[in-house]
Homo-oligomer: A and B are copies of this chain.
Amino acid sequence: MTSPDEQPTLAVSTVIFTLQPNDSATPELRIPLVKRIRNPFANQWALPGGPLAASEDLADSASRTLRETTGLEPRYLEQLYAFGDPARSPGERVVSIVYWALVAGDEAAQVFDSENVAWFRADDLPQLAFDHNLIVDYALWRLRTKLEYSRIAHGFLGDTFTLAALREVYEVILQRPIDAGNFRRTMEASGVIVPTGERLTGTRHRPPQLYRYNAEPESQGEFDLGPRSRPMLTVKETA
């Protein structure tokens, strides 16, 4: 038993993924990190987060962190895991309940780095504070796994998108090239995306079709969203 003054501190942190173009306009999977201003791990980068407020729900705390760090609302938010190794925080027992979130690339592109917040490539991080490298690795694994059997890619895109943009999300996250023809056939056969009837505006001779996700989240199948009575899925549905 823990005596009251030995109660572990409870924190909520969030791994926030987005796709942002690099200098050559290729999207990269990135996460925002916050530079710590005090010990332990002063001046090291860490996941955004903090103590749980007294009357705040866990998911609300994760959303607040995301908003305060990036100015954005999550397109997708899900509980990842509770990390409680007694040695993960020197000098104090901290149990961190971690969420992972997706924000749309076009929204995230408008958010600039500040002195204490910067976006890093998810697969090329410095040594982070606490066990945060382990946490990001696990979140990356969860993201890649879910991409293959769910409509999670939606969280990176606007309400409408081209097949090429959708395929690019898969290629960047899974880190392998995907055949365009196979991808088109698989996606169209799945019924998960539907053509909007509109085309990308621009200067091209034959602009590509725009698609949207259909509005039946149940068709995503056996997709673990957390306890059913309070789904953590906050993907915005198109009209």
Contact = CB atoms under 8 A, between A and B. Distances in A.
Interface of A: 1-3, 6-10, 50-58, 79, 81-86, 93, 95, 97, 134-135, 137-138, 141-142, 145, 148, 222, 224, 226-230
Given A1-B53, A10-B10, A55-B86, A142 B229 contact: no
Contacts of A51: 1-2, 7
Given A84-B97, A95-B10, A141 B228 contact: yes
Interface centre among A1, A3, A142 (most CB of B within 10 A): A1
B1 A81 contact: no
Nearest to A8: B10
A146 to B, nearest CB: 10
A131 B93 CA distance: 26
Contacts of A1: 50-51, 53
Contacts of A97: 82, 84, 95, 97
A227 B95 contact: no
A54 B93 contact: yes
Nearest to A53: B2
B58 A82 contact: yes
Contacts of A10: 7-8, 10, 95
